[in-house]
Amino acid sequence: MPARSCDVLIVGGGPAGATCAWRLVRAGLDVLVMDKHDFPRDKVCAGWITPAVIESLELDCAEYAQGRVMQPIHGFRTGIVGEAQVETRYPETASFGIRRREFDHYLLQRSRARLSLGEPMKTMARDGGAWLVNGEIRTPLVVGAGGHFCPVSRVLGTRLGHGETVVSAQEIEFPLSARERSECRLDGAFVQFYFCPDLKGYGWCFLKGDYLNIGLGREDNHRLSGHVEQFCQWLQQRGSIPRNLPGKFNGHAYLLYPASHRKLTDDGALVIGDAAGLAYPQSGEGIRPAVESGLMAAEVILEAAGDYRQCRLEPYISRVTGRFGKRNPRQPGASWLPQKFRQKLATRLMANGWFARHVVIDRWFLHTGQRALLAR
Ligand SMILES: Cc1cc2nc3c(=O)[nH]c(=O)nc-3n(C[C@H](O)[C@H](O)[C@H](O)COP(=O)(O)OP(=O)(O)OC[C@H]3O[C@@H](n4cnc5c(N)ncnc54)[C@H](O)[C@@H]3O)c2cc1C
């Protein structure tokens, strides 16, 4: 006999898993969240979130900010590395900077789900009409929220890394000393995003409270460390970041929607967030899709009312495509325009204030045309 059981087991306590748990617990379900790490834990991420995330999570910013970093952002500096830059300001708070070790811990605690931390999911086998996880947890429904390398996705048949176009990114986050802060030309109210000259990715530099986060992500991971190094040298020459960076950059991978094609549902199983490959294609923002997919999955689970056959969970797929668009295996960034021409055109467009505000920031990064998804 299994020692433990629950209505829903969520594998992964990141923003996707914590959001799904929060909604399900609120509806009265007995939810267990399992994560291989103890919390608080670090997560490789810049920690930039859009206002829609705050709305979907019904986050009380004043309460959250007590003892945690919550950096209001009022503008963006954008451009192509080595080219002219544009500053775009907003009268209201246009984004926030959080630290993932604080944010994820807060969301997980707030969910009021039962937690099993420091426990990796190792096995997941069918056991009659239910699942037996790690040989001891019996549940009719497993939600895969384990990020890019989610073990639930594997069980559902996804061959992780096979035929997947992965975005690889590296970042470093550290506290700035008072001297470094006075030497560097940094303003917490501005996030800096600079596209690589070949347009295959972008780097960022971002002050959140006392912490500086620097990083770069690309569609190809060929010479990623070299690109990161070049980007840092350029920022250092401009006096934007300290000459000496402490420690090493940490790397991680994830998939962009709509090019990802992971299986989203099965009998008694759903996958959400990075496990489903839902990050926005232009910005790589993955927290908002993680939160929204967690909410959409929760609604479908509640509507299924205990009957978790695949046919009852499939509405989740239509909600995902309704929200983020139809899946499209076309490679991100692919274009019929010759590369040289694209670069020339991009340099001109990125230096244009109207384009920077209305296309790069409003459309690609803030998704201002898409309202926040609210929990019912
Ligand atoms: C360098 C970098 C910078 C980024 N910057 C941003 C940004 O600024 N803003 C933004 O919106 N997005 C950003 N992203 C993307 C964002 O980090 C992800 O999209 C987001 O974390 C997805 O959330 P999730 O809950 O799906 O997965 P995750 O946050 O990855 O959480 C998955 C959880 O599952 C757990 N887990 C994994 N395997 C197992 C297992 N076997 N058993 C149990 N638990 C397991 C992990 O410990 C983890 O806690 C960035 C990504 C990278 C790599």
> pLDDT of 187-201, one tens digit each?
899 999 999 999 999
Give me ligand 1 centre to Cα 44, in Å: 7
DSSP letter at 241? S
In this structure, the residue with its CA closest to atom 31 of ligand 1 is 14
The residues near 146 (Cβ < 8 Å, ≥ 6 apart) are 11, 12, 17, 36, 121, 152, 153, 275
Give me ligand 1 centre to Cα 12, in Å: 9
Give me ligand 1 centre to Cα 43, in Å: 6
The residues near 68 (Cβ < 8 Å, ≥ 6 apart) are 98, 99, 102, 103, 106
The pLDDT of residue 242 is above 80:
yes
Give counts: helices (H), strands (E), the chain: 12, 20
Q: Which ligand 1 atom is the nearest neighbour of the CA of 253?
A: 53
Packing angle of the helix pair 15-26, 287-304 (nearest 10 deg) = 30
| The predicted structure's pLDDT at residue 148 | 96
| The predicted structure's pLDDT at residue 2 | 58
Give me ligand 1 centre to Cα 190, in Å: 24
CA distance 286 to 74: 21
In this prediction, residue 340 has a pLDDT band, given cuts at 50, 70 and 90, of confident
The pLDDT of residue 55 is above 80:
yes
Dihedral of alpha carbons 361, 367, 369, 372, sign: negative
Supply 307's token pair: 């009957």
Supply the mean pLDDT for the chain. 94
In this prediction, residue 344 has a pLDDT band, given cuts at 50, 70 and 90, of confident
Average pLDDT value for residue range 170-186: 92
| The predicted structure's pLDDT at residue 333 | 52
The residues near 112 (Cβ < 8 Å, ≥ 6 apart) are 22, 25
Around ligand 1, the residues with Cβ closer than 6 Å are 11-17, 34-37, 43-49, 120-121, 145-147, 149, 151, 169, 171, 215, 217, 252, 254, 273-275, 279, 284-288, 290
The pLDDT of residue 319 is above 80:
yes
In this structure, the residue with its CA closest to atom 27 of ligand 1 is 147
Q: What is the pLDDT of residues 264-315, one digit of tens each?
A: 999 999 999 999 999 999 999 999 999 999 999 999 999 999 999 999 999 9
CB atoms within 10 A of CB 143: 30
Q: What is the pLDDT of residues 249-267, one digit of tens each?
A: 999 999 999 999 899 999 9
| The predicted structure's pLDDT at residue 376 | 84
Percent of the chain with pLDDT over 90: 84
| The predicted structure's pLDDT at residue 64 | 98
The residue type of 151 is P
| The predicted structure's pLDDT at residue 222 | 83
Average pLDDT value for residue range 81-105: 96
| The predicted structure's pLDDT at residue 163 | 82
Contact 7, 139 (CB under 8 A): yes
The pLDDT of residue 338 is above 90:
no
The residues near 268 (Cβ < 8 Å, ≥ 6 apart) are 129, 130, 131, 140, 141, 142, 308, 309
Average pLDDT value for residue range 320-343: 78
The pLDDT of residue 127 is above 90:
yes
Give me ligand 1 centre to Cα 286, in Å: 8
Give me ligand 1 centre to Cα 27, in Å: 25
Least confident of 164-168, 227-231, 363-367: 164-168
In this prediction, residue 120 has a pLDDT band, given cuts at 50, 70 and 90, of very high
Give me ligand 1 centre to Cα 182, in Å: 32
Contact 158, 51 (CB under 8 A): no
Report which of 118, 154, 131 is spatially closest to residue 4, judged by C-alpha positions: 131
In this prediction, residue 7 has a pLDDT band, given cuts at 50, 70 and 90, of very high
The pLDDT of residue 332 is above 90:
no
Mutate to test the pocket of ligand 1, among 56, 287, 288 (most ligand atoms within 8 A of CB): 287
Q: Which ligand 1 atom is the nearest neighbour of the CA of 293?
A: 26
Give me ligand 1 centre to Cα 149, in Å: 10
Report which of 77, 345, 300, 17 is spatially closest to residue 206, judged by C-alpha positions: 77
| The predicted structure's pLDDT at residue 329 | 77
| The predicted structure's pLDDT at residue 328 | 85
Least confident of 280-284, 317-321, 332-336, 357-361: 332-336
In this prediction, residue 185 has a pLDDT band, given cuts at 50, 70 and 90, of confident
The pLDDT of residue 339 is above 80:
no
| The predicted structure's pLDDT at residue 15 | 98
In this prediction, residue 173 has a pLDDT band, given cuts at 50, 70 and 90, of very high
CB atoms within 10 A of CB 30: 13
Average pLDDT value for residue range 149-173: 92
The pLDDT of residue 331 is above 70:
no
Average pLDDT value for residue range 89-102: 97
In this structure, the residue with its CA closest to atom 26 of ligand 1 is 273
The pLDDT of residue 334 is above 60:
no
The pLDDT of residue 1 is above 60:
no
